């Protein structure tokens, strides 16, 4: 029986390239592609994949938050991060969200196939460059209290923060999340209070530093 896979990346050419390569493996079936986290959440609900290959930096809803929300509802699904970022925040963010593996986009195709088979078999897969980061972060966590964005803000507040950092207006955020403008403004005030920030520029810097969004989006 084939491993049912959904690909998530905001670049269509990347998705098409991955699909073309993965479909050469008779044991892998790419059943759908998503261009952002919102679309991925919908496809997961509709198509019940076994493995999700997830880009980390995506617009509207990043890969870390998407992973959080997928696994909160469907804990049996395996998420494999595929990213160009080696930054600790992205790596530990994805693994803390529940991802079963993390690969860099410069990996060989054979390694991606190997990783998909590994996570589908309920194993953890990390590329060699990621292992050092994970070990160092584990050692740091032994002596530090977790003050990451995922321990401070709620899921909805993280969504609002990402959209604010991406330059969306209150009205655009309200429409995007199906909320009232008053509710969005309330979330914004709570976010600023929790983070002790006083401007949109500070919020944007914080969101980038914590891996909720990136300058490249």
**Which tens digit of pLDDT belongs to each residue from 159-213?**
999 999 999 999 999 999 999 999 999 999 999 999 999 899 999 998 888 888 8
CATH number at residue 110: 3.40.50.2300
Q: How many domains is the chain built from? A: 2
Residue 31 domain-assigned?
Answer: yes
Residue 133 lies in a domain: no
69-126: per-residue pLDDT in tens? 999 999 999 999 999 888 888 998 999 999 999 999 888 889 999 999 999 999 999 9
pTM of the model: 0.72
| 101 and 183 housed in the same domain | no
Q: 76, 95, 128 — which closes off a domain?
A: 128
Q: Is residue 141 situated within a structural domain?
A: no
Query: Is 216 within the bounds of a domain?
Result: no
CATH of the domain at 174: 1.10.10.10
- Which range (19-28, 140-149, 168-177) has the least confidence? 140-149
Position 45 in a domain: yes
9 lies in the same domain as 63: yes
Domain containing residue 82: 3-128
For residue 134, what are the CA distances in angstroms to 24, 72, 90, 93, 126?
31, 23, 11, 11, 9
Q: Which of 22-26, 33-37, 107-111 has the lowest mean pLDDT?
A: 107-111
Q: Do the domain assignments include residue 155?
A: yes
């Amino acid at each position: 029986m084939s491993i049912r896979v959904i690909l998530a990346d905001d670049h269509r050419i990347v998705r098409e390239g991955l699909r073309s390569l993965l479909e050469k493996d008779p044991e892998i079936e790419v059943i759908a592609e998503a261009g952002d986290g919102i679309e991925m959440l919908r496809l997961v609900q509709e198509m019940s994949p076994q493995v999700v290959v997830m880009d980390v930096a995506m617009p509207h809803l990043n890969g870390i938050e998407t992973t959080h929300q997928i696994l909160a509802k469907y804990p049996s699904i395996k998420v494999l991060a595929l990213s160009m970022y080696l930054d600790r925040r992205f790596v530990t963010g994805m693994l803390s969200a529940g991802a079963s593996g993390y690969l860099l986009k410069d990996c060989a195709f054979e390694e991606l196939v190997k990783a998909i088979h590994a996570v589908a078999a309920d194993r953890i897969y990390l590329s060699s460059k990621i292992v050092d980061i994970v070990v160092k972060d584990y050692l740091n966590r032994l002596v530090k209290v977790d003050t990451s964005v995922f321990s401070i803000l709620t899921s909805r507040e993280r969504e609002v923060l990402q959209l604010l950092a991406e330059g969306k207006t209150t009205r655009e955020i309200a429409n995007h999340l199906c909320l009232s403008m008053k509710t969005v403004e309330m979330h914004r005030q709570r976010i600023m209070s929790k983070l002790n920030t006083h401007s949109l520029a500070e919020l944007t810097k914080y969101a980038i530093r914590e891996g909720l969004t990136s300058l490249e989006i």
